C-alpha cells in the first residue's frame, strides 16, 4: 500500500489573514492474482486456461480518511475489480436488478464505492455500493473464502444467475456498522432499487440485510440474512450462520447457508480447516448442497496449500472436485457439466501479490 499525505489550505480568513489547514491520507492499494489452471467436466472435455483470483480477488483501489475533530472522521473507499489475465476491469450493477448489469471492461469501481462518517463511540454510517451482510459469512468461514476452485461459492451461491445480483454487493445502499463493543460486531444495510414506475416492479432491487457476530480470542461466530425484492423471481433471501475456532495447530470452520428464490431453495453446509505448515498453510474443505425445486444435490471437495514468499507475495496450488447427484448438471468448477450426474474437477497453480 502506498500512502500519500496531502496538506492543503482550505480557506484563508479574510479579516485575520490566517490559513486553515486540513490533513488527509489517501492510500493506493491492490492485489494481482493470476494462475494456470486445468479444468475438466463430464461430457465437455477439458481446457487449460490462464485464470485469475485463485487465492484472492484481483483489484485496485483508493481509500482515505480525514480527521474532522472530536473523534469524528470522514472516509471514502473506491475499489475496482481487475482481470490481470486479459487486462480488463470488472463489472457492476446500477440498480440491483437484471436491467442494471454493466460490464464495459474498463475500470469500474464495482467492488466497493462508498463515502462514510465514523466515530469510535457510535460506529460508521456508509453510503454507496458495498457488501451485503449475507455475504460476509461465506468469505470468513470458508478456508478458501470465495476464490479459486476451492471456493465454497460454487455450492453456496444461488443456482439462478439472475438471483446472484445482490448475493455479494448492493448498489444505492445506506449501511451502518457497529463500533467496537468488546467482541460484538455487526452490520445493517438498506439498498434502494430506484424504480420510478408503480406496479409489481416498484420495489425491485430493494435490499435489506443484517449481520451480527462475536469474536474473542480463538472464537468467531456470526449470523446474517439479506433479502432482495425481485418480482420476476419471487424475491431472494440469503441466510447463513458460520463459525471458526483456532486451536493453534489448526483453525476449524463450519458454515451453513440457505438461498430461497421464490418457491425454490438450496441449503449448503461446509466443514473445513486451515492448518499452518512450514512457511504457509494447508486448506481443506468439504461442502454439500441439498436443492429443492431448482437443481439436484451435489458435493465439493477441495485441498490446497498457500506458501508465503513474503508478507505481500504468495504461491498457491489447489485441487478440487464437484460431483453432481442424480441427473444433475448444475454445479461445476468453471467448465460446464454436460453428462447428467457428471463431475467436474480441476487443478490450479498461481501467484498472488498485494500492494
pLDDT tens track for 14-38: 334 444 445 578 999 999 999 999 9
Mean pLDDT of 324-329: 97
CATH classification at residue 344: 2.40.160.10
Mean pLDDT of 75-100: 95
DSSP string spanning 162-220? GGGTTSSEEEEEEEEE---BTTEEEEEEEE-----S-STTTTTT-EEEEEEEEEETTEE
- Any bridge partners for residue 272, and if so which? 253, 285
> Residue 9 burial (CB < 10 Å; 0-12/13-18/19+)?
exposed
Q: Are 208 and 175 in contact (CB under 8 A)?
A: no
The grid coordinates listed for 196 are 420510478
Is 150 strand, coil or helix? coil
Residues 56-82 pLDDT 10s: 999 999 999 999 999 999 999 999 999
* Separation of CA 5 from chain center: 29
How many angstroms separate the CA atoms of 269 and 155, rounded? 9
Q: How many residues does the chain have?
A: 355
Domain of 147, in residue numbers: 2-354
Domain count, the chain: 1
Q: What is the pLDDT of residue 86?
A: 95
Q: What is the pLDDT of residue 152?
A: 86
Q: What is the pLDDT of residue 5?
A: 45
Smallest CA-to-CA distance from 94 within 174, 192, 163, 188 is with 192
| Buried b / exposed e along 322-353 (16+ C-beta atoms within 10 A) | bbbbeebbbbbbebebeeeebbbbbbbebbbb
The answer on pLDDT for 112 being more than 50 is: yes
Residues 172-222 pLDDT 10s: 999 999 999 999 999 999 999 999 878 889 999 999 999 999 999 999 999
The grid coordinates listed for 330 are 448444475
Amino acid at each position: 500500500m502506498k500512502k500519500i499525505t496531502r496538506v492543503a489550505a482550505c480557506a484563508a480568513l479574510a479579516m485575520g489573514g490566517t490559513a486553515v489547514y486540513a490533513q488527509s491520507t489517501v492510500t493506493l492499494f491492490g492485489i494481482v492474482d493470476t494462475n494456470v489452471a486445468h479444468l475438466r467436466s463430464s461430457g465437455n472435455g477439458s481446457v487449460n486456461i490462464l485464470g485469475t483470483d485463485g487465492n484472492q480477488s484481483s483489484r485496485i483501489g483508493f481509500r482515505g480518511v480525514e480527521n474532522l475533530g472530536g473523534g469524528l472522521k470522514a472516509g471514502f473507499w473506491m475499489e475496482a475489480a481487475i482481470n490481470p489475465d486479459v487486462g480488463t476491469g470488472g463489472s457492476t450493477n446500477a440498480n440491483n436488478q437484471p436491467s442494471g448489469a454493466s460490464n464495459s471492461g474498463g475500470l469500474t469501481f464495482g467492488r466497493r464505492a462508498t463515502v462514510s462518517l465514523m466515530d469510535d463511540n457510535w460506529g460508521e454510517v456508509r453510503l454507496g455500493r458495498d457488501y451485503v451482510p449475507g455475504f460476509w459469512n461465506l468469505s470468513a468461514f470458508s478456508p478458501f473464502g470465495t476464490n479459486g476452485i476451492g471456493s465454497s461459492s460454487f455450492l453456496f451461491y444461488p443456482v439462478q444467475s439472475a438471483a446472484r445480483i445482490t448475493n455479494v454487493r448492493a448498489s444505492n445502499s445506506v449501511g451502518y456498522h457497529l463500533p467496537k463493543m468488546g467482541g460484538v460486531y455487526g452490520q445493517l444495510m438498506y439498498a434502494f432499487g430506484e424504480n420510478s414506475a408503480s406496479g409489481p416492479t416498484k420495489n425491485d432491487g430493494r435490499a435489506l440485510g443484517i449481520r451480527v457476530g462475536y469474536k474473542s480470542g480463538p472464537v468467531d461466530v456470526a449470523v446474517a440474512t439479506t433479502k432482495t425484492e425481485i418480482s420476476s423471481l419471487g424475491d431472494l433471501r440469503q441466510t447463513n450462520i458460520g463459525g471458526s475456532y483456532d486451536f493453534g495447530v489448526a483453525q476449524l470452520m463450519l458454515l451453513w447457508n440457505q438461498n430461497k428464490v421464490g418457491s425454490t431453495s438450496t441449503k449448503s453446509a461446509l466443514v473445513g480447516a486451515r492448518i499452518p505448515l512450514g512457511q504457509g498453510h494447508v486448506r481443506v474443505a468439504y461442502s454439500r448442497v441439498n436443492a429443492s425445486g431448482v437443481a439436484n444435490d451435489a458435493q465439493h471437495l477441495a485441498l490446497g496449500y498457500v506458501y508465503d514468499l513474503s508478507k505481500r507475495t504468495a504461491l498457491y496450488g489447489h485441487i478440487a472436485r464437484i460431483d453432481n447427484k442424480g441427473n444433475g448438471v448444475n454445479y461445476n468448477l468453471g467448465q460446464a457439466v454436460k453428462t447428467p450426474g457428471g463431475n467436474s474437477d480441476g487443478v490450479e497453480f498461481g501467484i498472488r501479490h498485494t500492494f
